[in-house]
Amino acid sequence: MSEKKTVRFIISRQDTPDSAPYQEEFVLDYRPNMNVISALMEIRRNPVNAKGEETTPIAWDMNCLEEVCGACSMVINGRPRQSCSALVDQLEQPIRLEPMRTFPVVRDLQVDRSRMFDSLKRVKAWIPIDGTYDLGPGPRMPEKKRQWAYELSKCMTCGVCLEACPNVNDKSDFIGPQSLSQVRLFNAHPTGALNKGERLETIMEDGGLANCGNSQNCVQSCPKGIPLTTSIAALNRDTTFQSFKNFFGSDQV
């Protein structure tokens, strides 16, 4: 038998939100069809680093394990992506894992993605249907439009687009592509469109849409293939009309 096949990981670790990051190396026995998460689970089972020293298990987030929840995003070999769909066989070794530092690091590979959920609240990324009485069924959506909107609805708030964006950083308060594309989605819905102006006004605020610098990294990086830059350009057009309406028009919408 030949020598046992191994997998090498270099993992960026951080004990507390404020402490300095450091690197730790791990060597694991290879198993077929391993993904990054199964490797992290293996380390958790037996937290011993490459030097043979006992260490603490690595902290990371995960949930669905099928690339629809967005929780397990991290920077793998320099690229932000979901660790559940990152197959070891397809990765160059040593595999380097880092947290997405665009977000506050909680511990090791675990980050706090709250800012994206706050953005969704800020832009009112929902369809308001609550009333004091039964409002009845809403208008129907053409099937073709529904299929188109479905693509935008695939967003799982994973944070990869914000991590890839050069204009989302600690010097800027840019809201990022994720919530902007959701504005386009909910403005396209026949009932959601009742609040179209309100959502546009929100993304015209400081830190909003206008901060996009068209590097288009977001659309290249989105694991769900959402046309983020098309959404941004479409919103650029909508806000152009909105600002003209605000200045020259008199209708309060």
Partner 1 sequence: MAGKQEFYWRRLHSLLGVIPVGLFLVQHLVINHFATGGEESFNNAAHFMEQLPFRYFLEIFIIFLPLLFHAIYGLYIAFTAKNNIGQYGYFRNWMFMLQRVSGVITLIFVAWHVWETRIAAAFGAEVNFQMMETILSSPFMLWFYLIGVVSTTFHFANGLWSFFVSWGITVTPRSQVISTYITIGVFIALTIVGVRAILAFV
Chain residues that interact with partner 1, rule: CB under 8 A: 78-79, 164, 166-167, 169, 171-172, 204-217, 220-221, 227, 229-230, 232-240, 243
Nearer to partner 1, 82 or 221 (CB): 221
Burial of 141 from C-beta contacts in 10 A (0-12 / 13-18 / 19+)? middle
Task: Centre a 10 Å sphere on the Cβ of residue 210 and count the other Cβ atoms it contains.
Answer: 13
Task: Enter the DSSP assignment of 210.
Answer: G
Name the nearest CA neighbour of 181 among 204, 166, 203, 214. 203
Per DSSP, the residues of 31-68 read: -TT-BHHHHHHHHHHS-B-TTS-B-PPPP---S-SSSS
Min CB(107)–partner 1 separation in Å? 23
Q: How far is the CB of 211 from partner 1 (least distance, A)?
A: 7
The residue among 78 and 139 lying less far from partner 1, judged by its C-beta, is 78
Instruction: State in angstroms the smallest separation of the CB of 139 from partner 1.
Output: 25
Rounded least distance, CB 200 to partner 1, Å: 10
With respect to partner 1, which residue has the nearer C-beta, 125 or 232? 232
Alpha carbon 168 to chain centroid, angstroms: 12
- H helix runs in 69-206, sequence order: 114-122, 143-153, 160-164, 177-188, 196-203
Q: Which amino acid is at 143?
A: E
By beta-carbon proximity to partner 1, the closer residue of 28 and 228 is: 228
Query: Is the Cβ of residue 206 or residue 251 nearer to partner 1 in the bound state?
Result: 206
What is the nearest approach in angstroms of partner 1 to the Cβ of residue 175? 10
Closest to partner 1 by CB, 23 vs 220, is: 220
Q: How far is the CB of 237 from partner 1 (least distance, A)?
A: 2
Measuring CA to CA, which residue among 46, 38, 42, 47 is closest to residue 13? 47
